[in-house]
Structure 1
Amino acid sequence: MPRPVALITGPTSGLGEGFARRYAADGYDLVLVARDVERLERLAAELRAGSGVEVEVLPADLAEAADRGKVAGRLRAGVRVLVNNAGIATAGEFWETDFDRLQAQLDINVTAVMQLTHAALPSMLAAGAGTVLNVASVAGLLPGRGSTYSASKAWVVSFSEGLSNGLDGTGVGVHALCPGFVHTEFHQRAGIDMAGTSSLLWLEVDDVVRETLADVAKGKVVIIPGLQYKALTTGGRLVPRSVVRALNKVAAKGRGRS
């Protein structure tokens, strides 16, 4: 019997790497999608040797339409799992940030998620089984932390919830993962200074991956790892948004992020 296949975007570090390692350990063959070919090949070789699975390396920049099309074509050939993990944030004020950078952020965080999900679903539906895991953020649930990044992640949450409703009863699940701060390269790459952030707010990759896949198995659509973030998001729904914005601006340094 052929092994199921999981396609993961942005697997060269952080949560994407964590999901790649977990799915390999669970016996999935992998398709790994990212720009950094050297890191892709290094991870692929390690997973092949360590888990005995097949790993396909698919270099692509999801900010580029042609590369998104290439990945979409691979998805149309059929996978059991799609993890839309790739995403970027930008530092600096919105009005001072280069517009091309903002457009690239939108293309990766939103357009790629929509296009790749659209490409993956037909074969999943034909098989009556499949999982789409869209990595959003707590920033998409709580206002006041930034503009375009938070908005892009709010789109991912809304998209996933609506699509999940439409797919009810098909055997295909769509889930939005909304992590808070996780110890990865994400903030460093974005140029966002996280100094002074409380240690209580940080999560570890392995913990997020483990909790996420447990919640996927339970059929949860919006997944919020960590008790501290469950409490924050629950509280955020119970008080006026103006209060949440004010608190979030202080706690998460809402200025200086586009």
Structure 2
Amino acid sequence: MDLDTRIDRAVTRSVALGRGGAAPQKLSSALTYATTPGGARIRPTILMSVALACGDDQPEVSEAAAAALELIHCASLVHDDLPCFDDADLRRGKPSVHRAYSEPLAVLTGDSLIVLAFEVLGRAAAVDPSRAAALVLTLAQRTGMPGGICAGQGWESEQEVDLAAYHRSKTGALFIAATRMGAIAAGHEDPDAWEDLGACIGEAFQVADDLRDALYDAETLGKPAGQDELHARPSAVAEFGVDGAIRRLKDILGGAISSIPACPGEAALARMVRMQAERLTPVAPAHSRS
């Protein structure tokens, strides 16, 4: 079974937990709406790739970790799109959850997905309590404060922004979670060794996202464009210009590959990182360069 199938199956199975019993139908429907279609599912793909590189000796735990991470990511998108944050009408080419279901249901959808993510990891304790506990801790640390995605959103309310810290928490946190959780799920003896890879991929993804936001239109992105400038958010394009941001992106991706720890699947993992790098790197229209 390929990775995409394993991840989609794990996410679908996890969402079904939140839709069981006498659940309110609109909120139940919103959980599926918020998690499908899945987009690139890059974070769980990285997690599973690291787990495979380390042996993937407990597939049930790896799949639970991948699903939990994707649920947290989807929850963050639902909340990011709310009027109090980005006020975005589109996400992945369709109406955002608050547009399709209402603002109250969008808040509840995001909250429910967060809680569901930790329930999924809690259930994995039946397979391996030690690994499940470590997965819960890692995901919690990369979701909340002081260095998780909540902190990343919080930086946008500060008058002075540390761009590196902002990127590391807003986007990098879940990529660090991906590499650490993949190693933990497969029983790697030193999950800390995988943090640099996650940090590099996360920073690269944020720079690429800044470039796409500046260069592409809403139809191409499947979500509103020009949001960084509209909301006066810190971005790599604002700091370095388009050409400088592209150079920065290439440097980061080179560092990501060199940071991969020694493991049985090191070569295959490097190929995956290169493939994701090609997908990440936007092509800048000549008139947009600055």
TM-score normalised by structure 1 residue count: 0.35
Structure with more of its chain in helix, by fraction: 2
Structure with more of its chain in strand, by fraction: 1
